[in-house]
Structure 1
Amino acid sequence: MRRSSYRHVRVPSFSIRILRDVLIGAGLDHLAAFQAAGLHPDVAETPGSFVTGEQELAFELKFVELTAGRTDLWVKAGYGYFLASFGTQGLALTTSPTLEHFVRASTATDLAYAMIESTPIINSQGVITGLRLEHTGAPPELVAFSVYRDVIGTLRSLMMISMKDPFPLTVAQLPLNEVSPELAKILAAPVVLGASAVGLEWDEGLSTEPLPFGDSFQHETYLREAKEKLRQFRLEQDWARSVVDAMKTTVDKGVLATDVAAALNTSARTLQRRLEENGTTFRQLRDQARFELATDMLATTNASVSEISRRLGYEEASSFTLAFKRWSGRTPSQYRSSPPARN
Structure 2
Amino acid sequence: MRTSTSTAQDLGMPAIYLHLLADLLHNIGVDEKALLLRVGLDPHRLNCPDLRVSQAQASEFVTRAIIESGEPGLGIMLARELKMPLHGALGTAIMSSRTLEQALELMTRYLTLRAPNLHVTTRHSKGNACYRVTCDQDLGPLQGFIMDAMLFGCIFMGAQLTGSTVPGFRILRRGPEPAFFQRFRPTLPVPVEYGAIEDALLIPVSHLDMPIRFCDDQLAESSRIKCDEALRELTEDAGFACRVRRVIETSYPFPPKLARVAATLFVSERTLKRRLQEESASFQNLVDEVRLERARDLLTTTSMNLSQIADALGYADAANFTRAFKRWTGSSPSRYRNWARQPKAKPSPAAMAASV
Task: Quote the offset at 1:82 in angstroms.
Answer: 1.9
Q: Map 1:42-61 to 2 at 5 A.
A: 42-44=44-46, 50-54=51-55, 55-61=57-63
Range moving further from structure 2, 95-104 or 209-218: 209-218
Is 1:28 the counterpart of 2:30? The answer is yes
Equivalent residue for 1:175?
A: 174
Deviation of residue 231 (structure 1)? 0.7
Q: Which residue of 1 aligns with 2:270?
A: 254
For structure 1, which runs of at least 5 residues remain unmatched after alignment? 280-343
Unaligned stretches of 5+ residues in structure 2: 245-261, 293-356
1:281-316 per-residue CA deviation (whole Å, 9 max, x = no partner) reads: xxxxxxxxxxxxxxxxxxxxxxxxxxxxxxxxxxxx
- TM-fit CA distance, 1:38: 0.5
Q: Distance in 2 between matches of 1:10 and 1:143?
A: 12
1:104 alignment partner AA: E
Deviations 1:244-292 (A, max 9, x none): xxx9xxx8792485x657645x5769x9369948x9xxxxxxxxxxxxx
Runs of 4+ with >6 A deviation: none
- How many percent of aligned residue pairs carry the same amino acid? 17
| Structural mapping, 1:205-220, within 5 Å | 205-220=206-221
Paired with 1:42 and 1:274, the residues of 2 have a C-alpha distance of: 18
- Pair 261,176 (structure 1): closer, same or farther in 2 beyond 3 Å: closer
TM-score (norm 1): 0.63
**Cα deviation, residue 200, structure 1:** 1.4
Q: State the Cα deviation string for residues 13-56 of structure 1 (Å, max 9, x = none).
A: 32222222222222224245213420133335x65583523332
Helix, strand or coil for the counterpart of 1:210?
coil
> What is the number of equivalent residue pairs in this alignment?
265
1:73-222 matches, within 5 Å, as: 73-110=74-111, 113-114=114-115, 116-124=117-125, 129-164=129-164, 166-178=165-177, 180-222=181-223
TM-score normalised by L of structure 2: 0.61
Change (3 A) 1:48 1:82: closer
Query: 1:70 & 1:274 partners in 2: Cα distance?
Result: 36
**Alpha carbons of 1:219 and 1:130: their partners in 2 closer, same or farther (altered >3 Å)?**
farther
Q: Is the CA contact 1:174–1:193 (under 8 Å) kept in the aligned structure 2?
A: yes
RMSD: 3.9
Could you say if the C-alpha distance between residues 8 and 108 of structure 1 is closer, same or farther in structure 2, counting changes exceeding 3 Å?
Answer: closer
Would you say the 8 A contact 2:93–2:221 is kept in 1? yes
CA-to-aligned-CA distance 1:66-124 (integer Å, 9 cap, x gap): 233553x5433322222111111110111111122111111111255335423243215
Query: Distance between the aligned counterparts of 2:271 and 2:84, measured in 1?
Result: 41
Cα distance change on mapping 1:69 and 1:232 into 2, 3 Å: closer
For structure 1, which segment, 142-151 or 57-66, has the greater mean C-alpha deviation from structure 2 after superposition? 142-151
- Cα separation, 2, equivalents of 1:16 and 1:183: 21
The equivalent of 2:335 in structure 1 is none
Task: Flag the 1:135–1:195 CA change in 2: closer, same or farther, 3 A.
Answer: farther
Query: Which one has a bigger Cα radius of gyration?
Result: 2
